[in-house]
Amino acid sequence: MVRVGIVGGSGYVGGELLRILLNHDQVEVSVVTSRKNKGDYVFRTHPNLRGLTNMKFSDVDVESLASKCDLVFTALPHGSSAKMVSRILERGLRVIDLSADFRLKDPRLYEIWYDWKHPCPELLQKAVYGLPELHRDEIKGAVLVANPGCMATSAILALAPLIKEDMIEPLRIIVDSKIGSSAGGASPTIFTHHAERYGVIRPYEAGHHRHIAEIEQELAEIGKREVNVAMTPHAVNTVRGILSTCHTFVKDKDITVMELWRVYRSLYRGCPFVRIVRDSQGLQRLPDPKFLIGSNYCDLGFDVDGHSRRIVVFSAIDNLIKGAAGQAVQNLNLMLGLDETKGLNVPPLHPI
pLDDT above 70 coverage of the chain, percent: 100
Sheet of 298-305: strand order equals 201-203, 229-236, 173-179, 242-249, 310-317, 298-305, 274-276
Candidates 292, 310, 271; CA nearest to 350 is 292
Reported as a pLDDT band with limits 50, 70 and 90, residue 242 is very high
**Model confidence, pTM:** 0.97
Q: Is 165 exposed, middle or buried (0-12, 13-18, 19+ CB in 10 A)?
A: middle
What is the model's pLDDT at position 214?
98
Per-residue b/e over 7-37, b at no fewer than 16 CB within 10 Å?
bbbbbbbbbbbbbbbbebeebebbbbbbeeb
Contacts of residue 187, Cβ cutoff 8 Å, sequence gap at least 6? 11
Cβ pair 166, 118 in contact under 8 A: no
- The whole-number average pLDDT for the span 135-147 is 98
Cβ pair 259, 311 in contact under 8 A: no
Is the pLDDT at 51 greater than 90? The verdict is yes
Cβ pair 324, 98 in contact under 8 A: yes
Reported as a pLDDT band with limits 50, 70 and 90, residue 194 is confident
Candidates 226, 231, 54, 35; CA nearest to 149 is 231
Find the catalytic residue in 69, 150, 246, 298. 150
Domains with residue ranges and CATH for the chain: 2-126 (3.40.50.720), 151-317 (3.30.360.10)
What is the model's pLDDT at position 185?
81
Reported as a pLDDT band with limits 50, 70 and 90, residue 259 is very high
- The whole-number average pLDDT for the span 228-235 is 97
Reported as a pLDDT band with limits 50, 70 and 90, residue 244 is very high
What is the model's pLDDT at position 313?
98
Candidates 114, 120, 52; CA nearest to 86 is 120
Is the pLDDT at 28 greater than 90? The verdict is yes
Per-residue b/e over 186-208, b at no fewer than 16 CB within 10 Å?
eeeeeebeeeebeeeeeeeeeee
Residue 270 gets the label, from left (phi > 0), alpha (psi -120 to 50) or beta, of left
Cβ pair 342, 26 in contact under 8 A: yes
Tell me the per-residue pLDDT of 280-331, one tens digit each, with 9 for 90 and over.
998 899 999 999 999 999 999 999 999 999 999 999 999 999 999 999 999 9
Active-site residue flag, 150: yes
The answer to which of 65-74, 200-209, 332-341 has the lowest mean pLDDT is 200-209
Reported as a pLDDT band with limits 50, 70 and 90, residue 195 is confident
Q: What is the DSSP letter of 240?
A: S
What is the model's pLDDT at position 57?
98
Contacts of residue 129, Cβ cutoff 8 Å, sequence gap at least 6? 103, 135, 145, 146, 148, 214, 217, 218
Tell me the per-residue pLDDT of 153-193, one tens digit each, with 9 for 90 and over.
999 999 999 999 999 999 999 999 999 988 888 777 887 87
Tell me the per-residue pLDDT of 76-113, one tens digit each, with 9 for 90 and over.
988 889 999 999 999 999 999 999 999 999 999 999 99
What is the model's pLDDT at position 184?
81
Cβ pair 126, 101 in contact under 8 A: no
What is the model's pLDDT at position 72?
98
Cβ pair 200, 262 in contact under 8 A: no
